[in-house]
Structures are given as C-alpha cells and as structure tokens.
Structure 1
Amino acid sequence: LADDEKRKIYDQFGADGLKQQVWGGQGFDWSRFTHADDVEDIFGADFFQSVFGRSGGLGGTLFEDFFGGGTVGRRRGPAPGRDARVDLEVALEDVARGGRKEVTVQYPMTCPACRGTGAEGERLVTCPTCGGRGQMSSSQRQGYSQFITITTCPKCNGRGQWPERPCRRCSGQGRIEEKRTIAVEIPEGVPDGVQLRIPGRGLAGDAGAPPGDLYVAIHVRPHHRFARDGDDLVLELPISFADAALGTEVEVPTMDGASRLRIPAGVQTHTTLRLRGKGLPRFQGHGRGDQLVRVTVMTPTRLSSEERRLLEQLRRLRGDETSPRGPFDRFRSP
C-alpha cells in the first residue's frame, strides 16, 4: 500500500475495494492460471494440506484467501496403457508382394470380462485406503525441516476407486496376462527396420483407460539370390570369356519370373546392366525400382590343349592390343 492511489482506495473501500480495482471486480480466478496442474503435479495436493493445514491443492481456500475468485481441482484419470514393441522377420518376397503376417505377443491386456474396470458389476466405490486420492503421503520432521513422501496407493494402484465386487477373472486388476496372435499387414516395398504401428494393441491401461499401441519392427531376411539397394534389386551374373567377347542373350531370374537380358559384345567385368521396373515397389509411393545385373567375366583356370592353342592364336592376331599398357609406355622409344 505504498502507492498513494491504492492507499486512498483501501482507506475508503477496504480490501474488497482494492481487490475490485486490481482484479476487475471478480477477484483473481486461479482457474485461469494455466500451470496450476503442473505445480500440483510436482508437489501433490497433499503437500498443501500438510504444509498449510488445508486441502484443495492450488484451489480451495488457500488461494481464495489471497486472491478470491474460483477454485481449481482436478481428478486424476486412469493412466493409458504403454506402447509395446515386437520384432517380425519377413522374406524379400513379402516385401515385393506385400501380404499379411501374424505375430504372437504376451503382455498385460484389458480384461474382456470387466472391460478393464476390475469390477464384477458396474459399481465402483471410493478406495478405503487412500480416500479416493490415489496417493498415500507420509511426513517426517527433522528439526525445522519437514520431509513429505508421496507414493501410489497400493490398494487401488492410483485409481482412487475400488470395485465393490472384484472381477473374478482378473481379481479386480482390470488386466490379465494373455497370449494373443495379431495380424500384421505388410505393405509393399517396406524398408528394413521400419516400425509399423497398430493402434490399440499395446499394454492395457488402468481402470479401463485406452490401451497403448503395438509397434512391429520389420526385419527383412537376406535373400539367397538378390541383394537390396533401396527400391532396386541387385543380381550378380557370371558369364564366360567367350560370351563377354562375342555378346549373347541370357535368361535371368527376377521377382516376377524369368526375363531375357541382352549382353553386349565386349562387356567388361563389373559392368552393370539394368532391367527397368523389375525391382521392388516404392514404399508409400508409385512405381517400382529396377533390377541391376552386375556382370562378372569368368576367366578359365584350366584349359585344354585345343583351347590353349586357339587363345595363343588369338593373342598373336590381336598383337599388342591384348597386352596391358603400363603408365610409362607413352615415353618408350618407337
């Protein structure tokens, strides 16, 4: 009240008049404070009761005494279930064509008998252990300090309510440990390591709260014939020295069956030939990748006398063209 103007209002109208002038006639409405729940999450509603001797968290009489206006209170709802994760190994053919696979999981799921409420019927009563707060608090004073410990109620697991007649199947827990087979749709072209989300197939929530989600991590098995490079497939193709020199046409395997491929004359080893549109479908896109055929020219390790004679004759016919040239050949005298 060091402010002369406010002191004058206080002297004339009292505290109510000053409060009306400062807060616009309605008093301070603590419910408009957007971080009230955050403060209560940190300290807990029981903190204010034990320290100030009153209840209500950040609402109730504590802040009304200071600011007036409305109160704030929040009942904690049941916690939703956590997400689960499972690994699924698929073949490259599954990636190429898509399809459906099944995974078997086992973890706490919502009890089908009581739909997660834990009650035999519909009636839930206030937990007698925590009085409906879902938390238990204890305080210990050491000198001028007071230490407060807040724990989840062991009776209701933080729900604040307890079934009048517990469900016989889940013993009032609302969850049961169950093994279940879940169908997983494998999209075409799915990359290795992608996690597919299946909503509502995770761990059960508390007291009928929604379950979490199931994430299926895809692992593509190595293929005996093809390697994968993104949307492309890679095939190693060995050919003979004669086919490499003269060229030929061969039949190569693809994911769609056999396909004809022309080998140009004079092809070198490690040359890559392309079969367009013979790769994998593009994940979440359109079209397909290509199939890359990497040529490897196989040099014979054993020669018959006739083969050796013919190769010697070929070497004489081609002369220096078949001899490897070194980096200093250009400097040699003619």
Structure 2
Amino acid sequence: MSNPSDWATKDYYKTLGVSKDASAADIKKAYRKLARDNHPDSKPGDKAAEERFKEISEAYGVLSSPEKRKQYDEQRSLFGQFKNGFPPGGGFPGGGTSGGTEFDLGDLLGGIFGGGGRGGRRRQPQARRGEDLESEATITFQQSVDGVTLPLRLTSEEACPTCHGTGAKPGTVPRVCPKCQGSGMQTGTAGGLFAMTEPCSQCSGRGLIVEHACATCHGSGRAPSSRTINVKVPAGVKDGQRIKIKGKGGKGDAGAPAGDLYLIVHVESHPLFGRKCDDLTITVPVAFDEAALGAQISVPTLDGPPVKLKIPAGTPTGRTFRARGKGSAKKDGQRGDLLVTIEVQVPDTLTDEQRAAVEALRAARGNEDPRAAVFQAAG
C-alpha cells in the first residue's frame, strides 16, 4: 500500500502507462493488462516482475480511488510548484512576499500528510484501510444458474510477516529519527527568505530510522502476500458481472479495516441454453406436420426433468413459448422462465411415401400464393 508522504516522488500515471486525464475505465484496463503480464503466479521466481507487480498494484490502489487520486494530484501539483523552493513568479500563498515572510508548507499539506506543521509536532500514525483488490473467475453456465463457491488465490502487499511491519530485522527495533525527533518533517530555509516544512531527508518522512533492515522487506515494512480464500458466487450471476465481497481485500494497518474484493465473473456458453435476464432460452426443432397439425412435445430443462409443451396447430417457425419457473434463480429466491423458440424443420431428403404426401399437399393447396400479401404490401 502506498504512503501519502511518498506520492510526490512517484508518477503513478507513468507506472500504468496512462495520461493524467485518463478515465477510470482506462486506468482499470491498463492495470488489468499489466497485472496479468507481471503476476507472480505467471512468472514464478522472477524478482523483477514481482517488484513491477508491486509498483502496478500500488499505482492502481491510488488512481482507482477518486478520493486518493484527488489528493495525489493535488500533492503532485503542489510539489511541482515548490520543487525549486519558490512559488511560481516569486509570489507567496496568502499574499505574503519575500520580505522575511515565513511560509510553512507543512501547514498547507497538513490534510494530505496527516500533521507535521509548525513547531515540529510529532505526526500521529494513522490507521490505513486495506487496499481494494480485483480478481477474475470463469464459471460454467450451470454454476451461474445455481451459484458456486470458488477458491481464489489473491496477492496483495501487506505488513511484512518477518518484521510485522516495522522494517527492522527480528530482534531489533527502529529508533526515533534524531533529525526530526519522530515528526517525519523538517524545516529548512530558502535563501534566508522563508521557512519551509518538508519530509525529513534522513528518515524520508517515516519518523523512524531502521539501522538493521529486515531481510524480507529490506526495511520497507511491506511485502507481497498470497492467500487463498473461498468466495461464494450467487445464483443468477451474469457474464461480466462485477461482484463486491466486503472485507476480503488487502489487510489494513494498525487495526484498520480490510479493503474489499471485486470479482469479475465470466460465464462459459452452453451448447443448448442461453440467458435473457432471469430467463433461460432454448431453440427446439419441430417437424412440419407437428407445426401444421399441432402436437405435444418434450423440451429439456437445464437441471431437471423435461417439460411437456403443447404446440397448437399452425405454429410458425420462430414463435416462442414460456415454461414458467424453469429459468435462472432470482435475487428473491424465485426462478425465471424457460423461453422455448420453435424452429420448423424442412427435411433434406424425402422417402417416396413422404414425397407423395407432400405432392398431395401441394395439389390440395391449388393456386394459392403464400407471397401474395408481400407483393400487395410492396405496392
């Protein structure tokens, strides 16, 4: 998970390969592609890919949140203005001038850094909610109708299991930074004109110095962590649906709540059945005599015995009938319907007896033109 005090030095847009005005959809698309290409599961033992995956996840964790993205953009903009120690054009916020006016950037960024303004106040560590994670799963058509519980393997950045997030080698502890006295901020001057508060150069804003770094996380206190969880996919889920599983994302810091998991579900197609909202669909063939004279036919269902369907005489091809309660599950526990579309079959070949019967039908029809109404409508 990213530290807001580090945002000014990291270009998350460049990490994901998107522009600063990229839409949320563009950011998500770029993240998903890069995450697939660099996921530790697909490149076991590749440390470079693992580090790249961590950077991608950190960038997406900030840019995918409207609130965090707004804070990140503001902080980057402010540091861009003050990176040389002076505001643009020589002016000072609040109407101050270069005549000895003290300008404390820590006060201006207090809301972003969480404290550390005038007087060297110690920053209080803030509990940070765990990052939201996104995953994908492919299920069968039957599972989408009935629901299913899936095992999912998730990878996220969490407190290092070796040092428990301190960044220090087991058996040692970090010490308070002597330069900032644990505040994480330092006050400097620019040409003797004004004072400026910025992250401490010795501890990089952490307020602590790690003398003996943890071998697992190299002093960062964070490390990739993989775990397998069981996720219940509800009955009636649709292809491409995005499901929110609350509290199953990355773990929070200092007792803060975990993030959420967003699961995108892909549903495999079925050789016979289709979906239309909560209804299932199927196309069944009927013989010409069944359609012309009427018949009772059997129609298969997805997960039960066949249903009997009465076809009235004169049923044309393409007509749809409804078998109630034989469709997909709904949110209220009820089931949709099975929509049965009739397709009148024309045989490829005829026996002598069948040909004689069809020729007798043609003779009985006489000169009746079935396309007469079409020509009449054409004018």
Same fold, judged at TM 0.5 (above): yes
Say how many residue pairs are matched: 278
Give 1:217 shift: 1.1
Alignment of 1:1-334 (within 5 A): 52=102, 57=107, 75=124, 77-112=126-161, 115-118=164-167, 120=170, 125-128=175-178, 131-134=181-184, 150=198, 155=203, 158-161=205-208, 170-205=217-252, 209-257=256-304, 258-282=306-330, 284-321=331-368, 323-327=370-374
Contact 1:118–1:207, Cα closer than 8 Å, also in 2 = no
Greater CA radius of gyration, 1 or 2? Answer: 1
Any idea what the Cα deviations from partners look like across 1:17-56, whole Å, max 9, x if unmatched?
xxxxxxxxxxxxxxxxxxxxx9xx9679xx99x9628898
Any idea what the Cα deviations from partners look like across 1:95-125, whole Å, max 9, x if unmatched?
2111201122223233345544446479654
The 1:327–1:132 alpha-carbon spacing in structure 2 relative to 1, beyond 3 Å, is same
- Structure 2 Cα separation of the partners of residues 113 and 63 of structure 1: 36
Contact 2:107–2:118, Cα closer than 8 Å, also in 1 = no
The structure whose residues are more often strand, as a share, is 1
Identity between Structure 1 and Structure 2 (%): 37
- Structure 2 Cα separation of the partners of residues 154 and 285 of structure 1: 59
Describe the SS at the equivalent of 2:300. Answer: strand
Q: Which amino acid aligns with 1:191?
A: K
The 1:55–1:189 alpha-carbon spacing in structure 2 relative to 1, beyond 3 Å, is closer
Q: Which amino acid aligns with 1:274?
A: R
Tell me which residue corresponds to 1:22: none
Give 1:145 shift: 8.7
- Structure 2 Cα separation of the partners of residues 326 and 94 of structure 1: 48
The 1:195–1:139 alpha-carbon spacing in structure 2 relative to 1, beyond 3 Å, is farther
Describe the SS at the equivalent of 2:236. Answer: coil
Contact 2:101–2:193, Cα closer than 8 Å, also in 1 = no
Describe the SS at the equivalent of 2:259. Answer: coil
Q: Which amino acid aligns with 2:182?
A: G
The structure whose residues are more often helix, as a share, is 2
- Structure 2 Cα separation of the partners of residues 261 and 319 of structure 1: 33
- Structure 1 Cα separation of the partners of residues 225 and 216 of structure 2: 12
The 1:63–1:118 alpha-carbon spacing in structure 2 relative to 1, beyond 3 Å, is closer
Contact 1:96–1:255, Cα closer than 8 Å, also in 2 = no
Q: Which amino acid aligns with 2:325?
A: G
- Structure 1 Cα separation of the partners of residues 369 and 350 of structure 2: 19
Give 1:85 shift: 0.7
- Structure 2 Cα separation of the partners of residues 163 and 319 of structure 1: 100
Tell me which residue corresponds to 1:26: none
- Structure 1 Cα separation of the partners of residues 179 and 348 of structure 2: 86
- Structure 1 Cα separation of the partners of residues 287 and 240 of structure 2: 38
Q: Which structure 1 segments of 5+ residues have no match?
A: 1-37, 65-71
- Structure 2 Cα separation of the partners of residues 127 and 140 of structure 1: 23
Give 1:319 shift: 2.6
Q: Which amino acid aligns with 2:311?
A: I
Give 1:164 shift: 7.8
Q: Which amino acid aligns with 1:94?
A: Q
Any idea what the Cα deviations from partners look like across 1:174-203, whole Å, max 9, x if unmatched?
332233222110111123323222334333
Describe the SS at the equivalent of 2:283. Answer: strand
Contact 2:291–2:312, Cα closer than 8 Å, also in 1 = yes
Q: Which amino acid aligns with 2:135?
A: V
Any idea what the Cα deviations from partners look like across 1:243-271, whole Å, max 9, x if unmatched?
21122222222122222222222211000
Tell me which residue corresponds to 2:5: none
Q: Which amino acid aligns with 1:276?
A: R
How large is the RMSD of aligned CA atoms in angstroms? 4.4
Q: Which structure 2 segments of 5+ residues have no match?
A: 1-70, 80-84, 86-92, 94-99
